[in-house]
Structure 1
């Protein structure tokens, strides 16, 4: 029966390795917490205004709704006349700025104990090891070991004679 990678056998090892590696990846992502902070655009605006970090004080904001103004202007211009190229460029630019702002605000924190992290690493390494082992052709290995055993028996027979 053909197994993983077209080699003989190893299907069970492959799936056990896949489960171990998948479990490790799930546990890793489950322990990562995602929060938001100050983004590139809002951080630059705060720096220009002499402020540090996010909001909290009177009159400060972390929402930076001002980045939606070009988007709204572009939508108004395009509904008025969809042939205006500057309206399309402003729309593309504002969507890009909004996307960069959202992505730049994301902060990742790993919230796990060292023993749990080591366990995840062992699970992942064991899974990958089993997957790679399953891709090896076991029939060639068995034939090689059998030929070594018969070569050893021939040497013993020659020594007895």
Structure 2
């Protein structure tokens, strides 16, 4: 006879697991919704680095249009793209948008309380 198990194959509560999961999703969404991300330009030796990282990418694309199997073209294209992506990510400024204490406590309580419920549901009862 097939016996239905709880969350994670344990005898824990499926209801607690899904309630905790909803709390984690809701709290995480509210928390991340209050985080602001901005960016600025990056410089090397007083000059904009974006143009310098764009040059290998453009040369690589040009070489690939001439010969799609060129190893040098692929290296320049992927390397230039990786440099641009690294430059963008390294210049990100992340800060928490001002909000009330109640909203902050609500977000964090939902997130941490939900994690606690999920962990409890995965434990044997």
TM range (shorter): 0.7 to 0.9
Q: Residue by residue, what CA displacement relative to the aligned partner does 1:57-112 show, whole Å, maximum 9, x if unpaired? A: xxxxx693443222222222233344544333222221221221222232212113
Which blocks of at least 5 consecutive residues in structure 2 are unaligned? Answer: none
> Looking at both structures, which has the greater relative contact order when contacts are Cα pairs under 8 Å and sequence separation is at least 6?
2
CA apart distance, 1:27: 0.6
Q: How many residues align?
A: 121
Which blocks of at least 5 consecutive residues in structure 1 are unaligned? Answer: 52-61, 139-161
1:111 to 2:62 alignment: no
Contact in 1 for aligned 2:50/2:84 (Cα 8 Å): no
Greater share of helix: 1
1:136 to 2:116 alignment: no
Secondary structure at the aligned position of 1:64 is classed as helix
CA apart distance, 1:31: 0.6
CA apart distance, 1:134: 2.0
Greater share of strand: 2
1:68 to 2:54 alignment: yes
Cα distance change, pair 8–43 in 1 and its aligned pair in 2 (3 A): same
Larger Rg belongs to: 1
